[in-house]
Amino acid sequence: MRLAVFDFDGTLVDSDAALLAPFHELGVTPPPLGLPASEACERAGITVAQYVERYDPSTVPPFAGVDDLLADLARWGLCSNKLRSAGLAELALHGWSPDVALFSDDFDFAEKRLAPVLEALGVDGIDVVYVGDTAHDRACAAAAGATFALAGWNPRASAEPGDVVLTRPADLLDLLE
């Protein structure tokens, strides 16, 4: 059986509003979603500390069906541009326990990379389906030799030719067999 690794924001959780709220509270134009927090804050002209102070993980709901999917998986991983403190808070809030979870902090606040997650899980890219919602997620999967599956349950996700598109989280189970 193949192993699933997930992006966090826009894939497991519907976090767009929560991610943008600190920028709006600070009166700055938010950068595009999906960037590492340090890069997003730098582009907006604010500090990461200012952002974190205003970010509220309790306002971030999982997408419908995600709880059930994760409960059905024996092993899974997480690879996210989210800050570790926020990511761990959200994982605890939802009661989720990935086998490996790496965040922006683990990549020296640069763009996430799937290879370190695969190494920590002890698997090769060919054995992994990386589920995400952005072009960067697609590129992460390709760089690691993993299959990319688009989280099509996120209305913001945009399919490209060749994408495996999952319309609901449970669809991943068929892809993992």
108 and 43 within one domain: no
105 and 74 within one domain: yes
Reported as type and span, the H/E element at residue 88 is helix 84-94
> Measured between alpha carbons, how far is 113 from 102 in angstroms, rounded to an integer?
9
Q: How many domains does the chain have?
A: 2
Q: What is the pLDDT of residues 14-72, one digit of tens each?
A: 999 999 999 999 999 999 888 888 899 999 999 999 999 999 989 999 999 999 999 99
* Cβ proximity of 115 and 144 under 8 Å: yes
> Measured between alpha carbons, how far is 168 from 170 in angstroms, rounded to an integer?
6
95 and 47 within one domain: no
pTM for the whole structure: 0.92
91 and 167 within one domain: yes
Which residue segment(s) compose the domain that 49 sits in? Answer: 16-57
Instruction: Inform me whether the pLDDT recorded for 6 exceeds 70.
Output: yes
Q: What percent of the chain has pLDDT over 70?
A: 99
CATH number at residue 145: 3.40.50.1000
96 and 10 within one domain: yes
98 and 156 within one domain: yes
Q: Environment class of residue 23 by beta-carbon count within 10 Å: exposed (0-12), middle (13-18) or buried (19+)? A: buried
> Measured between alpha carbons, how far is 10 from 16 in angstroms, rounded to an integer?
7
23 and 11 within one domain: no
Mean pLDDT value across residues 146-166: 96
142 and 129 within one domain: yes
95 and 10 within one domain: yes
